[in-house]
Amino acid sequence: MSGILEGKRVLITGVLMESSIAFHTAKLAQEQGAEIILTAFPRPTLTERIAKKLPKPTKVIELDVTNEEHLGRLADVVGEELGSLDGVVHSIGFAPQDALGGNFLNTPFESVATAMHVSAYSLKSLTMACLPLMQNGGSVVGLTFDAQFAWPQYDWMGPAKAALEATSRYMARDLGKQNIRCNLVSAGPIGSMAAKSIPGFNELASVWDSRSPLEWDLKDPEPAGRGVVALLSDWFPKTTGEIVHVDGGLHAIGA
C-alpha cells in the first residue's frame, strides 16, 4: 500500500534538531512516499548532520528567508533537485531575546520588526519564492502556537504568531485560484530548539499538565508532524485558511 504522499515533492524548513516537529515531518513525509528537500539557516551543516538520521538521503540548501538573494535563487536550486513542488512546510520562527521572557512592555520596535519578518512575513516570501515550482497547485503548511491567548513568557512571539495566522488566511484567499491550499498546524509545546530560546518555557508548558484533555508529551513531536503531513496530502483537497489544533485539546478548554 502506497503512502499518502506518494509521488509528492516537498520543501521543508526548520529541521534543527531530531526533537523538532520539522524533523518528524520530514521523516513521516519520506515514509509516506514523498521526495523532500530541506532548507537551513544559519548553520546548514547542523541540518546536514540531523538529516542523516532520516530514512533516505536528502539535500540541504542554505536559505535565509529575510535575504532576497537567497529567495530569488530558491526556485532554480530546488527545481534542479526536484523539478517541481507539491508542498512547502514553513517551520520558521525567531524573536530576539529582548522580545521574550516578560519584557513585552520594554521591547524596542527593531526587535519586534525582526520577529514579525522572520516569523510571519516569511510565510508569504517563502511561498512566493516557491510559486514558480507549484504550477499544478499544492499545499503550504505552517506551524503556529495558538495566538488567541496571551501566554506566559511568550511576549512578542504571540503577536508574531497572530500575524502568521492572518497571513495564512490572506494567502489562502489569493492562492486558491491556483489550487494552492494554505493551512497551519497549531501545536502544543515541544521541547525543541525554539522552546529552549524562550526564557521560562517550563512555566508556559506546565499549563498542559492541568488543562489538556488528552495527555500531552513535551518530548513527542510526532503528533504535530502527522498533522502537517495530513495537510500536505490529498486527503484535505478543499481545506484552506484553516488552523488545525494538535495540542491535546487544550484550545477548547476554558479553565
Q: What is the per-residue pLDDT across 37-70, written as a single tens digit (0 to 9) for each?
A: 999 998 899 999 999 999 999 999 999 999 999 9
Which candidate, 154, 152, 62, places its Cα nearest to that of 107?
Answer: 154
> Is residue 254 situated within a structural domain?
no
Q: In what order do the strands lie in the sheet with 87-90?
A: 60-62, 35-40, 9-12, 87-90, 138-144, 180-187, 243-246
> Is residue 47 situated within a structural domain?
yes
> Is residue 156 situated within a structural domain?
yes
> Is residue 18 situated within a structural domain?
yes
Residue 241 Rama label (left phi>0; alpha psi -120 to 50; beta): left
Grid coordinates representing 97?
A: 531575546
Q: What is the 3-state secondary structure (H, E, C) of 124-165?
A: HHHHHHHHHHCCCCEEEEEEECCCCCCCCCCCCHHHHHHHHH
| Count of domains for the chain | 1
Q: Which residues carry a binding-site annotation?
A: 14, 20-21, 64-65, 92, 95, 161, 190-194
pLDDT tens digit string along 122-146? 999 999 999 999 999 999 999 999 9
Catalytic residues: 154, 161
> Is residue 4 situated within a structural domain?
no
Rounded Cα distance between 198 and 213, Å, is 25
> Is residue 155 situated within a structural domain?
yes
Residue-range definition of the domain harbouring residue 34: 9-247
So what's the pLDDT on residue 182?
A: 98
Quote the Cα angle for 59-14-186, to 5°: 135
pTM above threshold 0.75: yes
> Is residue 102 situated within a structural domain?
yes
CATH of the domain at 113: 3.40.50.720
Q: Which residues carry a binding-site annotation for substrate?
A: 95
> Is residue 3 situated within a structural domain?
no
Rounded Cα distance between 85 and 135, Å, is 8
HSE-CB of 248 using CA atoms within 13 angstroms: 19
Grid coordinates representing 193?
A: 530548539
